[in-house]
Amino acid sequence: MQQVRVRFAPSPTGPLHIGGVRTALYNYLFAKKNNGVFILRIEDTDLVRFVEGAEEYIMDSLKWCGIEVDEGINEGGNYGPYRQSDRKHIYRQYADILADKGDAYYAFDTTEELEALRKNAEKEGRTFIYNSSIRERLRNSLSMPESQWKMLIEKGEPYVIRYKMPVNEDIHFEDLIRGHIVVNTGTLDDKVLFKADGMPTYHLAHLVDDHLMEISHVIRGEEWLPSLPLHFILYRSFGWKAPLFAHLPLLLKPDGKGKLSKRDGDKMGFPVFPLYWPYGETAKGYREEGYYPEAFINMLALLGWNPGTEQEIFSMDELINEFSIERVHKSGSRFDPEKAKWFNHSWLRKRSNNQLALEFRDYLRAQGHHHDIGDLETIVGMVKERVNFVRDIWSETDFFFRAPESYDQEVIRKRWLPETPEQMLELESVLEGIEKFSSENSEQVVKQWISENKYNTGAVLNAFRLLIVGASRGPHLFDIISWIGREETVRRIEKGISVIASQVK
RNA sequence: GGUCCAUUCGUCUAGUGGUUAGGACGUCAGGUUUUCAUCCUGGUAACAGGGGUUCGAUUCCCCUAUGGACUACCA
């Protein structure tokens, strides 16, 4: 049995989009599931669109996601180099092989000439296709005598090598996800395999590399489906065994129509990229927004695939275990930012208090607060169920670290009764009398005091909470006061009474 | 325009020639709680439309509609 070898082959033309990350992820899962090899190949044959920093970004993104590369630029391997610009010397000979056996030809048409032909065709309501219908009338090695085109080449005239598409033939092929597909070559054009700048196009380069690298399965985006017949027929021309193909459905915009794009993220306030992109037009990343890689990966994995069970939370190991290419969907998935948050919430609450406290401590440090891990563990334990991100812990617990600056007017209106100030003063002395200021003790003593005086529990405790928190929110009140301590509690009671008194007047 | 691909609640999806078409996110309501949130319970909501095939179709076939991709010397 042939070893499973798959590759993720992005172009370094900018930051890696989450659709690209998902493609990488599915390749990785498939490889690991089948004890195979996951290869990272950089496809930088387009000199014009190359973007500095993109290659690093791709590798950093995969690393953050926990997608480990087996063979690649940094990892090495027996099939290198793994960057197409470093493999430049390889491709020309393969284009020549096809030309020599008559499956490809040299074409001298300039970009301007072709542009004009396209415009012309469009004007007449036709589509210009460079194929058998017209190739004999254009400037190429099929339409001119051998001596002439050889002379042009010798003179240094720029030219490309095009594939000579058969005239009328049904190409049958299989896709692991989509099944059987038939396309007639009459609708296909004579694709350029080798460019005038001395670089191969995608079609030639990826195919040669996949063959040389002994790729067993090509798992890539649906946008490649239309060129699959070309690739099949190229394998045939070379006399090579084609790998198996699987074309992944697209990721769609959360609302409206179309493919997810960078602008959607900007517009709707969620990232479209795994990491912050610092160059040129900057872009937000999931990492910086506070997402855990586990949650990010979990979410992406389930966008276009699921194992058929009702389980939704998967670790990478579980994904590897459950993944199968046959269960990948055919149709595109709309990305849902709300559910993304829920995944992070689910992963966050799985963390231990200690882990979370460490993460929260880092966050607090950045805000200039310094606290013991033990103290923070108590706090995160109180609120971890209710937050989506570590940074939310701060907005849920800020009153632990500082007395309220203001008091919710709505709560004052509802809960601050004429007798309240006096009750609060009374409460203060009750608290002063508690021996051990723990949550349980103070709760017991306070509740006893309330019932002995026949006060209204809701009224008293809501007013108390208002003084401590400044609003009607937060965890168990006695947990809060025991954490901030008796002194601070008393201080807040006194301050609150006087501030509110001045407002109520 | 042409070629190819797709179509189950708002979204992600399960599922079958006969099911009360299931789950999750969201949303709504109730309960718990001293508050907010969590949590629990319940509700809401879908087989794009039309023809076939069949005793029966959401499921198989065809057509239409809609959506998408591709249609570069970009990947």
pLDDT tens sequence for chain A (505 residues): 689 999 999 999 999 999 999 999 999 999 999 999 999 999 999 999 999 999 999 999 999 999 999 999 999 999 989 999 999 999 999 999 999 999 999 999 999 999 999 888 888 878 889 999 899 999 999 999 999 999 999 999 999 999 999 998 999 989 999 998 989 998 999 999 999 999 999 999 999 999 999 999 999 999 999 999 999 999 999 999 999 999 999 998 876 567 777 777 777 778 899 999 999 888 999 999 999 999 999 999 999 999 999 899 999 999 999 999 999 999 999 888 889 999 999 999 999 999 999 999 999 998 888 888 988 999 999 999 889 999 999 989 999 999 998 999 888 988 888 889 999 999 999 999 888 999 999 999 999 999 899 888 888 999 999 999 999 999 999 999 999 999 999 999 999 999 998 876 6
Round to a whole number and report the distance in Å from the CA of A186 to the C1' of B5: 19
Round to a whole number and report the distance in Å from the CA of A311 to the C1' of B21: 19
Contact A137, A143 (CB under 8 A): yes
**ipTM reported for the complex, 2 dp:** 0.94
> Which nucleotide's C1' atom has the smallest distance to the CA of A340?
B25
Contact A348, A357 (CB under 8 A): no
Smallest CA–C1' distance to B36, residue? A473
> Which nucleotide's C1' atom has the smallest distance to the CA of A42?
B75
pTM of the model: 0.93
Residues of A identified as active-site: 262
DSSP state letters, A185-209: GGG----EEE-TTS-B-HHHHHHHH
> Which nucleotide's C1' atom has the smallest distance to the CA of A302?
B12
> Which nucleotide's C1' atom has the smallest distance to the CA of A457?
B34
Round to a whole number and report the distance in Å from the CA of A99 to the C1' of B5: 32
- Contact positions of strand B to protein Cβ (< 7 A): 1-8, 10-15, 22-26, 34-39, 67-75
Smallest CA–C1' distance to B73, residue? A195
Helix (H) or strand (E) holding A425: helix A420-432
Q: Could you give phi then psi for residue A400, rounded to 5 degrees?
A: -70, -35
Round to a whole number and report the distance in Å from the CA of A289 to the C1' of B65: 41
Round to a whole number and report the distance in Å from the CA of A370 to the C1' of B72: 58
Please tell me the distance from the alpha carbon of residue A83 to that of residue A9, in angstroms, as a whole number. 9
